[in-house]
Amino acid sequence: MNIVSLIDHAILHPTAGETDLETGCRLAAELGVASVCVKPYMVKQATEFLTDSPVAVGTVIGFPHGGNTTIVKSAEAEQACIDGAVELDMVVNVGRVLAEDWEYVQADIAAVQVIAQSHHALLKVIFETDYLTDSHIVELCKLCSDLQVDFIKTSTGFGYTKRETGDYNYSGATIQHIQLMLDNVSGVVQVKASGGIRTYQDAITLAEMGVTRLGTSASQAIAEGGAGESY
């Protein structure tokens, strides 16, 4: 399989506008990635750009902090599907996860899952692993396995945390967290790695672990790094 076919090409930077969207969609179609993941207001236009392409259109829900109320996330998901999105990357309510309010977290995810399923869209649940302990990640894996969501996902790529040095940074998809997620999901649930995936070797390493989707904006660099190769 061509590693590029696992990529969800991200067009999510805060400054990304219509020119970036058109360029990104054209690149996605040329490379043959799995999907583009765009900001919600871009879904209609992305769908138009990719009308004659097998590349799917996805968007984000409750992005990037997950703090929207459940009813807002549900409405956002409904509108995204109406606009043409067939993949939804939803951020969990991180505050509720840290409080271990698992009933709330499960209901929040389930509400968006109902919308996704009613439109035959995939649901990917973003954990934002930078903020979580291993025990939180394991519990989320179990919860998402109970719900049988389509994917669990490491990061938004925007989960910057303040470090002891005073600067802000993030780790994104780490080998440790990916393995933990792979070890603790069951059924149809797949794992998507996102955050910090910049090279062909990064992508291959994760795919060989069992990851089936890769969220990145470095699609071209990954494609060029693996030109003529497959696994």
Annotated catalytic residues are 89, 153, 192
Please provide the distance, in angstroms rounded to a whole number, between the alpha carbons at the two ends of the chain: 6
| DSSP class of 11 | E
Q: What is the 3-state secondary structure (H, E, C) of 20-46?
A: HHHHHHHHHHHHCCCEEEECHHHHHHH
The structure tokens listed for 57 are: 């259109």
Q: Which H helix or E strand runs over 103?
A: helix 102-118
Q: Is the dihedral of CA 177, 196, 49, 61 positive or negative?
A: positive
Output b/e per residue, 87-101; b: 16+ Cβ within 10 A.
Answer: bbbbbbbbebbeeee
CA nearest neighbour of 63 among 125, 150, 130 = 125
Alpha helix (H) ranges present in 52-101? Answer: 70-83, 94-98
CA nearest neighbour of 146 among 175, 109, 120 = 109
